[in-house]
Amino acid sequence: MAVAPSSALAAPRAVIASLSEVSSPSGVDQRFLSAYRLRKTDEYSSVFAFRRAIKGRFLIVHYRPNELDTARLGVVVAKKLAKRANVRNLVKRIVREQFRKIRVTLPHQDLIVRLHAPVRDATRAMINEDIVQLFARLRS
């Protein structure tokens, strides 16, 4: 099998980093790594059992202090409140993005963001505003 000679017209591929892999201008890592996620049922159960929460228009944030050096996030979006998968995924993407941006300013807690009201008439801006306000209340 012969190898084709390289063409002068073919340029080498450039490495393109996604925005989530690039640190912010302040040098803070803003990736959403596995270490920043709640994964196990026991982790979710312990946050719900702690019974502390703050409520917004569409979302509710359950929280529990942890012994780690960072906040961790879990997101729960029930089919009962968001029937279509694309809507559930949109809500989860918005919450994760806002968490990723401000994780370093949040207290060291395990957080579960849960949808508690239907979002059929909500816009992306309304959901963004709701989660930003909830995270701001957590910081104060």
Work out the mean pLDDT of the chain and round it to a whole number: 86
| pLDDT cut 90: percent of the chain above it | 69
Question: pTM, whole model, 2 decimals?
Answer: 0.77
What CATH number has the domain spanning 36-139? 3.30.230.10
Query: What are the boundaries of each domain within the chain?
Result: 36-139
For helices 85-102 and 124-139, the axis angle rounded to 10 degrees is 40
Pairing type for strands 53-55 and 59-65 reads: antiparallel
For residue 21, the model assigns a pLDDT of 52
Binned at pLDDT 50, 70 and 90, residue 20 comes out as: very low
Count of Cβ atoms closer than 10 Å to residue 115 Cβ: 22
- Mean per-residue pLDDT for 96-111? 93
- CA atoms of 58 and 128, how far apart (whole Å): 10
Residue 114 CA to chain centroid, in angstroms?
A: 12
Least confident span in 11-25, 45-59, 68-82, 115-129: 11-25
Query: pLDDT per residue over 36-83, tens digit each?
Result: 899 999 999 999 999 999 999 999 999 999 999 999 999 999 999 999
